[in-house]
Amino acid sequence: MNHRIQFLIVTILFLAAKSVVACECPEADYTVLGKFENARFVAIGRVTAVETSQAKVVIEKVYKGNLKVGQELIFGQGQSGTCFEDFATDEIGVKFLFYLQPKEKTPAVWYGDRCERTRPLPGFHTNHVSDAADDLAYLEKMDQVAGKTRISGTLISYQWLPTHGGADFKKVAATKVSLVGE
């Protein structure tokens, strides 16, 4: 193949390629208890309006923090490359579970962070892969069983690797765990 045709093909492929910016969540405790403890506010809110730059959410239930039932919050819309929730017009009426950690004491604009487990409640039609069913099962019983029957966390294996000059940490799944003692 001659060099001009190769150059043309490479140029077309380069121009046709789209850049992808994705949300990347930092290492943290992503269990329900971990997110609950790290959040300042945990609440269920219903999306009442969606615009290009913001969405309105009315609080319907509060698990943590001083939000009030019926209070309206303005949520900023997510932007490409952020982990903030981007509410769509077909999500008006959908209820979400929010774990909120605003930097300000009382923000004018709130953000639903996907890394903080912002998810729709079960039974609502959205484009989300997972919903808040597991979170709700935990949160609804939290007061009744506090300090009694629940263990929450992430099992991590630790292996020293001299070739890497340090330790390798990996999350472990499908592993039987035995608790011994009180």
- Half-sphere exposure of residue 110: CA atoms within 13 angstroms, side-chain side: 27
CB distance 119 to 96 below 8 Å: yes
pLDDT at site 14:
56
The model's pTM: 0.69
Question: Distance between the two ends of the chain, CA-based, in angstroms?
Answer: 74
Per-residue pLDDT of 83-94, as tens digits, reads 888 888 999 999
Report the alpha-carbon distance of residue 44 to residue 54 in Å, rounded.
18
CB distance 30 to 117 below 8 Å: yes
Per-residue pLDDT of 91-116, as tens digits, reads 999 999 999 988 888 899 999 888 87
Residue 96: burial class (beta carbons within 10 Å; 0-12, 13-18, 19+): buried
| Confidence band, pLDDT 50/70/90 cuts, at residue 27 | confident
Residue 56: burial class (beta carbons within 10 Å; 0-12, 13-18, 19+): middle
Report the alpha-carbon distance of residue 75 to residue 16 in Å, rounded.
34
